[in-house]
Amino acid sequence: MQLVQDEEEDISVAESLDDDGLPSLELSPESKDRGREQNGNKDRVIEAAEGSFVSDFYRSGTDWSCLLEKNTQERPPERKLKQTNLFELWGFKKPDDSNAKPRVSSLSLKRTRTQWISVESVNDRMNPKVPCLGNRSNGGGNNLRRVCPFYKKIPETSFTVDAFRYGLIEGCSGYFLSHFHCDHYAGLSKRWSYGSIYCTPLTARLVKKFLLVNPSFVHPLELDIEYVIDGIKVTMLEANHCPGAALVHFRLENGQCYLHTGDFRACKLMQSYPLLVNHRVNVLYLDTTYCNPKYRFPSKEDVLDFIVKTTKNSLKRHPKTLIVVGAYSIGKECVYLAISEALGVKIYTNASRRRILQSFDWTQLSGKLCSCGEETPLHILPISSLRPETLAEYLKTYKHKFTAVLAFRPTGWTYSEASGNQLDLIKPSTRGNIMIYGVPYSEHSSFLELKEFVQFLRPDNIIPTVNVSNAAHRDKMQSYFQEWLKVSPQWKVSPTSTRPRVN
């Protein structure tokens, strides 16, 4: 089946870790371009302040090479990974070694508001004799196995987030999935047997239906409900990304709170989430896809208005225009839904995408879908196919009905500083009767939204999760965080209260 990708991400795959314990990446051409863009002004590389949390562990000088198992065939499968003292380096208590041992007791999962649910111990299902091969393709022919980077592990717990491509992670009893984009679920398949998967109910449906993961491993957690898993309070919060995407909030018995954003677009509504208002976040794992001041793209609403206006104008001039929206299998639904509602037309897409969209249980969207391309001028295609030659071929299929194509490629990467927030300045690329607009509709936070979110949350520490493979990027991001926190008020203030947070 078609992979569900999120092009807005640094989707390069880590095969090994660099000296800082971060992914050592062979960047795709697109990622390299992004890297150049983001690192364009090399004279302005900003040094991270000495002694800061992140610079400490990025520069810790720890011998991370012990995390690489260079030849899995030569090593006995039951040999343990040395974790050195990573947690101590970050100032956290080292997780209890007992977490790494198979247990015979059952794992209790408490749904605090409603009922207790007991499930079979995940450790019982993890066969310790199975080599830690995971789902991986080395590609280069070497025998390095992928090792889970530290920033995917939640300190003082036996949990990881979006860490499926590493196979069995020693000591991990709960694998959290933030959302159903392939750069986050990579490694999940019907062969998954390494432990319990926690995600939102929508993501759980997709994981079972499209990745064919054994349902006994999949544990849906409702949004805004606090669960207790292995003694840790866990709450999934709406992430304003794609359907089913969640921020994951962990609250430990000792009061420490960790927030992992997965992928998210920060918004004002998040500043009213009670958990975020009432509890200090000690470590924020932050989606830093657009953590660069050049990305100041407009709100989603403004972009939708522009798209609808442009579509209506185009249809006025050329009524036989086919409207094409590029989309990932999941994400950007609001773009074509807005056009559909403004024009009063159905949405055509192929059967496999219809299956995915219908599994959302989003009736407003499901009710608009149709299975005949002749029936509507609004078609959805994979975002990667929005090229003039591909669209010209596609138009031939419908030549009796349509004579031109107006296409939208909605992604934050299309944002240009030249047009800024003035959407009317966007120049489409035109070839013959094919016109393609790149529109800065993003499901990740802009730079200013990141800043506002961090200033609202005031976490003790921030760990970036995207664009971390380059030391200069990491240092720049760290300097932004420090700058933001310098000017924020000492206490976070809720929209309705001036009461300081607890703990």
Which residues form the interface with Zn ion (CB under 5 A)?
Answer: 6, 181, 263
Which residues 6+ apart lie within 8 Å of 263 measured at CB? 6, 8, 9, 178, 179, 181, 184, 239, 241, 242, 245, 287, 289, 443, 444
Q: How far is the CB of 329 from Zn ion (least distance, A)?
A: 11
Report the C-alpha gap between 160 and 150 in whole angstroms: 9
Report the C-alpha gap between 330 and 45 in whole angstroms: 36
Q: How far is the CB of 14 from Zn ion (least distance, A)?
A: 17
Which residues 6+ apart lie within 8 Å of 436 measured at CB? 386, 387, 388, 391, 407, 408, 409, 428, 429, 430
Q: In terms of CB distance, is 166 or 328 closer to Zn ion?
A: 328
Q: How far is the CB of 440 from Zn ion (least distance, A)?
A: 17
Q: In terms of CB distance, is 263 or 475 closer to Zn ion?
A: 263
Q: How far is the CB of 188 from Zn ion (least distance, A)?
A: 15
Which residues 6+ apart lie within 8 Å of 192 measured at CB? 135, 164, 213, 214, 217
- Name the strand (E) or helix (H) holding 324: strand 321-327
Q: In terms of CB distance, is 264 or 306 closer to Zn ion?
A: 264
Report the C-alpha gap between 158 and 148 in whole angstroms: 13
Q: In terms of CB distance, is 155 or 412 closer to Zn ion?
A: 412
Q: In terms of CB distance, is 31 or 72 closer to Zn ion?
A: 31
Which residues 6+ apart lie within 8 Å of 318 measured at CB? 403, 404
Q: In terms of CB distance, is 181 or 265 closer to Zn ion?
A: 181
- Name the strand (E) or helix (H) holding 125: helix 122-125
Q: How far is the CB of 260 from Zn ion (least distance, A)?
A: 13
Q: In terms of CB distance, is 10 or 263 closer to Zn ion?
A: 263
Question: Which two tokens mark 222?
Answer: 């409702």
Q: In terms of CB distance, is 179 or 451 closer to Zn ion?
A: 179
Q: How far is the CB of 241 from Zn ion (least distance, A)?
A: 6
Q: How far is the CB of 33 from Zn ion (least distance, A)?
A: 20
CB atoms within 10 A of CB 275: 17
Yes or no: say if 281 and 459 are a contact pair by the CB < 8 Å rule.
yes
Q: How far is the CB of 102 from Zn ion (least distance, A)?
A: 33
Q: Are strands 429-431 and 378-382 parallel, antiparallel or unpaired?
A: unpaired
Q: How far is the CB of 187 from Zn ion (least distance, A)?
A: 16
Q: In terms of CB distance, is 6 or 452 closer to Zn ion?
A: 6
Separation in Å, CA 482 to CA 444, 455, 478: 21, 10, 6
Report the C-alpha gap between 35 and 13 in whole angstroms: 15
Q: How far is the CB of 162 from Zn ion (least distance, A)?
A: 10
Residue type, 227: Y
What are the backbone dihedrals phi and psi of residue 38, each rounded to the nearest 5 degrees, phi first? Answer: -75, -20
Instruction: Name residue, tokens 């607009």.
Output: 437
Q: Mind spelling out the 3-state secondary structure of 411-453?
A: CHHHCCCCCCCCHHHCCCEEECCEEEEEECCCCCCCHHHHHHH
Q: How far is the CB of 466 from Zn ion (least distance, A)?
A: 10
Q: How far is the CB of 336 from Zn ion (least distance, A)?
A: 18
Q: In terms of CB distance, is 6 or 69 closer to Zn ion?
A: 6
Q: In terms of CB distance, is 15 or 263 closer to Zn ion?
A: 263
Q: In terms of CB distance, is 165 or 181 closer to Zn ion?
A: 181
Q: In terms of CB distance, is 69 or 263 closer to Zn ion?
A: 263
Question: Which two tokens mark 20?
Answer: 């800082």
CB atoms within 10 A of CB 455: 15
CA geometry: angle at 380 spanning 288 and 414, to 5°? 35
Yes or no: say if 207 and 199 are a contact pair by the CB < 8 Å rule.
yes
Q: How far is the CB of 183 from Zn ion (least distance, A)?
A: 7
Yes or no: say if 337 and 364 are a contact pair by the CB < 8 Å rule.
yes
What are the backbone dihedrals phi and psi of residue 89, each rounded to the nearest 5 degrees, phi first? Answer: -60, -35
CA 218 to the chain's CA centroid: 19
Instruction: Name residue, tokens 């976070």.
Output: 492
